[in-house]
Amino acid sequence: MVNKSPTNPVVLAAQAAFYGLFAAIIGYFSTSPDYRHLEADKALIKLSFAYHGEPVGECRERTPEELAKLAPNMRTAKVCPRERSPITVKLDLDGKTLYEGAVQPAGLSKDGASTLYRRFEVPAGEHLVSVKMNDNVRVQGFNLVKEEKMSLKPAQILVVDVRKDQGGIFFE
Amino acid sequence: MRAIEAVREGGLRLQQRIESLFDAVFGAAGNPLRHLGALGFYFVWVTLATGIYLFIVLDTGIEEIHTSIQYYTHEQWWLGGIMRSLHRYAADALVLVMVLHLLRELLYGRYNGFRWYSWISGVPTIWLVYASGIGGYWLVWDQLGLFSALASAEWFDWLPIFSDPATRNFLPGVLNDRFFTLLIFLHIGIPLLLLLSLWVHIQRVSQADVFPARPLALGTLATLLALSLVKPTVSHGKADLSLVPELLHIDWYYLFVHPLMYLTSPAALWALAGAFTLLLLILPLLPHPKPAPIAVVNPPNCNGCRRCFVDCPYGAVAMLPHPDKPGHELARVIPELCASCGICAGACPSSTPFRSVEQLVTGIDMPQQPVGALREEMERKIAALAGPVKIAVFGCECAAAAPGLEGPDTAVLNLMCSGLLPPSFVEYALRGGADGVLVTGCREGSCAYRFGTRWTEERLAGRREPHLRPTVPAERLRLIWADSHELSGLKAELDDFRHSLQSLDADEKRPRAYTPRRIAQHG
């Protein structure tokens, strides 16, 4: 029978060993093994925007009859369709397509912003980055275009965004 | 289902062997594996206490937050640095004991029946532990914090709940000081919710084990302190929104979800997390043994002494005003809380077998093993014993299989729980012809009903009511706690007890013979 007295050296040594094991398990998995999120020679392109497309139809003036039917406080002459155009987007890298698709506007009436977030791991180095968008269903083809030769360092993040106050597509 | 049950039982046997090993080193009261819930609470308190200090010295500006953490990590390492490390390691230890606690309760099959409430209320607790811990990494605002925040945002963006992707908050130039104010609010608010969740979690257990024994508490704290000195927690480089953090020293206790998501996809991680949560939630609904009959109060034999009320491990006994006796109380069983353990019957003073009534009916009893039937069985079995040393064994259905000890000179009475044993039965057996009484049951911490072992030990030692009378010689009573895998050890202890009884003279320290009519009848 083992003497379980707390002063028994064997018991104390066993307790110390278990506490040591506990510390080792906590300490090791608290920081190890290392995790490599991105390969050393890679960079990241983030295609991300929250952008309101153009209305799907033209705005028009209400007729006097139409205005008369409205409550006095609702009588605005100009009426525009609520629904926004989906954003068609194409991202090419060195002529190779990374992403192509149409992003629908949010909301039940499709009157919200079209939002997108995509990440692409690409080799670091010089690349021709080409982004084309269409934000208006009444316009054929891409009405927003940006193409630029970029030098991407390892681990660098290139954000591709679009904002009206920035003049359209921009790289950051 | 049979294969799953076989795996569970195999796992349980392994678990019990490991727990026995730890018992030998720490003792049952200090065995960390038997007090995982208490350790979990303890680590929460440590993180809260250290967190208060860290909150005081933290500067929440976007530029200053990393600098202030760096300051107290390196310049004030002797206080702030140690506090930070303790905060981190206690949080990690919380995850470790939480997972072990979950696994242990699963192996013991403690997730259905009357235990459904504690099991189900534990599920949101897991989510809150992770929400609290992961949010803490963001606050450091180093490369790891940025990585975690971004990965979490990408995960939540998969859900169609944000009109603007949460990930866009981490594009250059978007973040400001208010973000960190929000983070602080969340990192205080969510742990408070965690505390609330823990409080809910233990609502259906009385005298919950929420603080470990002092040696275990001190030993654990000393270990975390030593770890904090040997391997202090340090930050990665300051978060830079224009760079991807490449190599990360990740905390796998909390942040394993991020590599898992990048290895699969946000949708796959949601599916995994959802399936895991759902599995835990439906476990109590899966087919399980029919619940045993619950305790029944017999009002004419209940004197309102409150012992069953005090001893019930699940608060299933309430004391109500007696309908016929003003100023008196009467026990009432709350059916949905009753575990059918019989500990209340063992606590009832009316359970004494020395009562002269023909039909022994106690104040609170178990229909499947009434105290009266137990007295009859004991009388019959003791009367049938033959040999130089006659021993009565009171076993426990959940512990080592005591029926395996039965023999011509050994009578075994297997109880639903050792806590069902009214202490006076020991004296009754000795005065009725047994030379010795061996009481066995689960080791402390293994008891399926929490307090069966402890209450029995305290009652027999005279530290708890109803107690064994001090006139009963200690030499003729032996308590052996043995889990289900320890039958061979129990047999060895029985042999040792038999030898010890043989060495006593026949009349030495023996309670006066009591030969009631009933034993004479069986004889």
**So what's the pLDDT on residue B511?**
77
What distance in Å separates residue A45's CA from the closest CA in chain B?
Answer: 10
Query: Cα–Cα distance between B497 and B59 in angstroms, integer?
Result: 67
- DSSP for B165-191 reads -GGGGGSTTT--HHHHHHHHHHHHHHH
Give, in degrees to the nearest 5, the angle at Cα B40 between B34 and B41.
Answer: 115
Nearest CA in chain B to A158: B242
In the block, residue with structure tokens 């969740």: B197
Contacts of A6 in chain B (CB under 8 A): 215
Selected for mutation to probe chain A from B36, B85, B223, B443 (highest A CB count within 10 Å) is: B223
Contacts of B252 in chain A (CB under 8 A): 29-30, 32-33
Spatial CB neighbours of B280, under 8 Å, sequence gap ≥ 6: B119, B122, B123, B126
The angle, 0 to 180 degrees and rounded to 10, between the axes of the packed helices B82-107 and A9-29 is 100
Neighbours of B252 (CB within 10 A): 17
Question: For the purposes of burial, counting CB atoms within 10 Å of the CB of B131, is it exposed (0-12), middle (13-18) or buried (19 or more)?
Answer: buried
Dihedral (CA of B148, B154, B159, B164) sign? positive
Q: How many CA atoms lie within 13 A of B512 on its CB side?
A: 2
- pLDDT > 50? residue A1: no
3-state SS class at B118: helix
In the block, residue with structure tokens 């014993």: B385
Residue percentage of chain B with pLDDT more than 90? 76
Tally of helices (H runs) and strands (E runs) in chain A:
2, 11
**So what's the pLDDT on residue A2?**
45
Side chain identity at A169, as an amino acid letter? I
pLDDT (mean) for B350-354 = 95
Phi then psi dihedrals of residue A70, to 5 deg: -85, 155
Query: Cα–Cα distance between B22 and B479 in angstroms, integer?
Result: 20
Query: Cα–Cα distance between A30 and B234 in angstroms, integer?
Result: 11
Query: Cα–Cα distance between A14 and A22 in angstroms, integer?
Result: 12
**So what's the pLDDT on residue B500?**
94
Query: Cα–Cα distance between B503 and B351 in angstroms, integer?
Result: 33
CB contact under 8 A, A26 and B24: no
In the block, residue with structure tokens 């007090």: B35
What is this structure's pTM?
0.89
Q: For residue range A90-108, list pLDDT tens digits in order.
A: 999 999 999 999 999 998 8
Q: What is the mean pLDDT of chain B?
A: 92
- Residue A115 belongs to what H/E stretch? strand A114-123
Q: For residue range B256-314, list pLDDT tens digits in order.
A: 999 999 999 999 999 999 999 999 999 999 888 888 999 999 999 999 999 999 999 99
- pLDDT > 70? residue B338: yes
- pLDDT > 70? residue B114: yes
Least confident among B57-71, B333-347, B489-503: B57-71
Largest CA distance in chain B: 94
Answer whether A78's CB lies under 8 Å from A160's CB: no
pLDDT (mean) for B16-21 = 90
- pLDDT > 80? residue A68: yes
A117: nearest CB among B167, B224, B243: B167
- Torsion-angle region of residue A121: left (phi > 0), alpha (psi -120 to 50) or beta? beta
pLDDT (mean) for B31-43 = 95
Nearest CA in chain B to A21: B223
Domain boundaries, chain B: 35-285, 296-522
pLDDT band at A6 (very low <50, low <70, confident <90, very high): low
- Residue A88 belongs to what H/E stretch? strand A87-93
Helix then strand then coil, % of chain A, to nearest 5: 20, 45, 40
Domain boundaries, chain A: 1-35, 42-55+83-171
Neighbours of B261 (CB within 10 A): 21
What are B249's two structure tokens? 């020293």
CB contact under 8 A, A48 and B251: no
Contacts of A44 in chain B (CB under 8 A): 244
H helices present in B204-355, as ranges: 214-230, 252-255, 257-263, 266-282, 307-311, 343-347
Query: Cα–Cα distance between B340 and B520 in angstroms, integer?
Result: 33
What distance in Å separates residue A82's CA from the closest CA in chain B?
Answer: 17
A34: nearest CB among B24, B89, B247: B247
User: Class of the A42-55+83-171 domain?
Assistant: mainly beta
**So what's the pLDDT on residue B358?**
85
Rg (CA), chain B: 29
**So what's the pLDDT on residue A153?**
93
- pLDDT > 50? residue B47: yes
Beta bridge partners of A50: A115
What are B78's two structure tokens? 């002797």
Contacts of A123 in chain B (CB under 8 A): none
Beta bridge partners of A148: A129
Q: b/e string for B172-209 if b means 16 or more Cβ within 10 A? A: eeebeeebbeebbebbeebbeebeebbebbbebbbebb
Whether A116 has its CB under 8 Å from any CB of chain B: the answer is yes
Answer whether B383's CB lies under 8 Å from B519's CB: yes
Contacts of A112 in chain B (CB under 8 A): 163
Contacts of A31 in chain B (CB under 8 A): 231, 249-251
Residue percentage of chain B with pLDDT more than 70? 98
Spatial CB neighbours of A29, under 8 Å, sequence gap ≥ 6: B92, B251, B252, B253
DSSP one-letter code for B72? I
Answer whether A98's CB lies under 8 Å from A46's CB: no
Nearest to B43 by CA among B93, B79, B96, B101: B93
A19: nearest CB among B173, B219, B253: B219
pLDDT (mean) for A136-145 = 90
Query: Cα–Cα distance between A48 and A160 in angstroms, integer?
Result: 6
Q: For residue range B457-507, list pLDDT tens digits in order.
A: 999 999 999 999 999 999 999 999 999 889 999 999 999 999 999 988 766
A37: nearest CB among B157, B223, B246: B246
Beta bridge partners of A126: A151
pLDDT band at B515 (very low <50, low <70, confident <90, very high): low
Phi then psi dihedrals of residue A96, to 5 deg: -105, 130
User: Class of the B35-285 domain?
Assistant: mainly alpha
- pLDDT > 50? residue B195: yes
The reply to whether omega before B466 is within 30° of 0 (cis) is yes
A172: nearest CB among B32, B157, B172: B172
pLDDT band at B519 (very low <50, low <70, confident <90, very high): low
More confident residue, A1 or B79: B79
Answer whether B134's CB lies under 8 Å from A63's CB: no
- pLDDT > 50? residue B517: no
What are B377's two structure tokens? 């069985």
Neighbours of A69 (CB within 10 A): 10
- pLDDT > 60? residue A11: yes
